Structure 1
């Protein structure tokens, strides 16, 4: 019976998500077509705030009903003092697709809407792909190491894409979202990489470095977010069916060293090494924080079991 109720709740949640998406996409796509037909800066300045407003409403509606069906508490700290009219570079560890919904719920209307770097193939997703394009989500092409060895010029494609995206971000307060690990954490990936971290994969510096080089001076600060799921990493279905478990989010607002906004990551090996040292220090601190949060969660669970 419990599984049936959970499945029914998941199906209802999926229906609500689909309906909310369609209702918001209709006006968004109408504005997207206008933006496509009239690619003028003056038009963009008027349409982009409306597009972001629609997307913010979509996130707000999703966050409200998702909050209602979660049985375990969400412990979110460090959200004070953020500004919806600022420019932020947001960096987070990556465990699940659920991360995106958690980040959206935590940060919606506290900072400008998060803009993610997406795989190029996602632009072809019906309806949503065009919506992401209209909202200026940058689409990145991923190339294998073998392809890059054969054609080194392919490295420039993502650099050009990032610069173009950041040029658009400079026109309107924006939060640029980056998962530095580049992929979701799994035990198998962790074993293959053998990183010097217990709870994280090795961070990839390229996207962060390109974003900072393109508009680092405009970013107000770095928002370093740490996500922990003490009851195990939830799937998207767990979220929809109210079985996400406990969620812990910790946010630190950090200054961005000015020197990291000025160097040539691709062409200056000394700068690249310095950038890696800075990011690896953030990652060591994040790994220790995750271990501490998991230990606190275990101790709390033991205390509750003895009551």
Structure 2
């Protein structure tokens, strides 16, 4: 901004008064005007965004007062502002991400019965329904724990740990035949019993044709009396659903048998397990095959939890 004479007064580090004038002062004023322009853009964009949100909230609360609003608002574009301001007299940097959604009144049906109608979002061919509404439609309660980022449908279990996230004390048998959370070959393959997949649990490979004396494996845990229940689902993984072998699971607490299930066959539905482990110091889980003749069988303890 040549030709503008500006005077900026202040105090330097040495304590002496200082001034900047002439063209240099004009450059500083230009920079400040740029900053003011950027700040104005931020405020305008933010106000526009809040206006859209306010409109959506108002229409959802007072639908009958707006006769000109249709049930379906097509082509609604929501701008999401992502920006940052750096300290000092630096420039504003920001990007806009826009998504197009359709708001629709969706009938919530459960077992053929109309339970409610709720406003939902359709985006990229997917329907997004409020989780609480979906749970209530099915007659279940819903809670969300923001701290653990956990959504719970139905009866909320108490404090628990997945067994595959608890450090084990020891394994007896062929160690590399015990798998936690999922199989390793192929890597990440989920434990599956009668088409039911489990994101957590323990899987064991027994009576493989490449080994002998591999009909039994056990995993020990030091509970030190800190838990009350061991729950989960037991059965034979679908990979060996056609095996002629049979499997067993035995749960022991401090050497005493607490639970036993024998003659598990491939293709059988998973069976729920609920074992009282109150006061147990050492927990032992035993996986056993009925044969040791190379008739592989994979036994699974799915969704295994230790609850306090």
If asked which structure has higher relative contact order (CA below 8 Å, sep 6+), I would say 1
Q: Which has the higher helix share?
A: 1
TM-score by length of 1: 0.24
Q: Which has the higher strand share?
A: 2
TM-score by length of 2: 0.24
- Larger Rg, first or second structure (1 or 2): 2
